[in-house]
Amino acid sequence: MMNIQGVLENALTQILKTPVLINGCGRTDAHVHASQFFFHMDIEQAWDFDLMFRLNKLLPASIAVFDIIPMEGTPHARFDAVQRCYDYFIHTYKSPFLNGLSAYYLLPELRFDQMKQAAALLPLYKDYRGFCTSPDKYEHTICNVMSAGLTVDSSGDLLRFQISSNRFLSKMIRIIMGQLLKIGKGELSVDEFEHYLINKETPRLITPAHPQGLYLSKVTYPYLDLSVRTTFSAILQPQFETFR
């Protein structure tokens, strides 16, 4: 099965009639979504047609290109990014409309206040070794988490966890979300959650949350800060307007 990068490279190669390789702003697990994602490519010869129109006609319905931006110099989609923002969505009832777009957890009585307290601790710490599946493969596990928070709709059926940082480690957000769900179920205390941050200690049992709920929702560069064209929360209006 071809990944998204391969699909894009094949389509661009077919349209431009020359081999094309792209560099994306990051890599992630299967079934994880992105409502904003950047990649760069180096093309020697300019085209004289509407590349975005042809590309979107050729790409499958699950992949859409919103902009093609000429850049000067040698910008890098991955290494130049200064901030990435992710959203994680959960629904607590079976829904054919949310299946595949949000993570389904049949957990109607979560302890939201404790989950929010734990999420609010994240920007206070920098070393996320305790929330990574393979910390030793990195030179360091420091992440500058700028914001993190959990919101819940008025019925308690829809949850949204949002976190932004300069970088993320392997499965870091899904592991954090898994720990927050344990807090919500009463299987982990807020103090125990903070213990992993303080002591940089990996939990004995790591249970990452389902990938379907995770979205890369915004990427920011020193020279480029575009508003998000499509957000998952907009699909669920007006429910998300009543988040608390």
Please report the pLDDT score of residue 228 as a whole number: 86
For the stretch 35-91, pLDDT in tens is 899 999 998 888 999 999 999 999 999 999 999 999 988 999 999 999 999 999 999
Catalytic residue among 29, 50, 113, 225: 29
pLDDT at residue 235 is higher than 50: no
Residues 111 and 152: beta-carbon distance below 8 Å: no
Chain CA centroid to CA 229, Å? 15
Cα(119)–Cα(36) distance, rounded to whole angstroms?
Answer: 23
The full length of the chain comes to 244
Residues 131 and 174: beta-carbon distance below 8 Å: no
Please report the pLDDT score of residue 202 as a whole number: 81
Residue 80 among the catalytic residues = no
Cα(131)–Cα(119) distance, rounded to whole angstroms?
Answer: 13
Please report the pLDDT score of residue 55 as a whole number: 97
For the stretch 162-195, pLDDT in tens is 999 999 999 999 999 999 999 999 999 999 999 9
pTM: 0.89
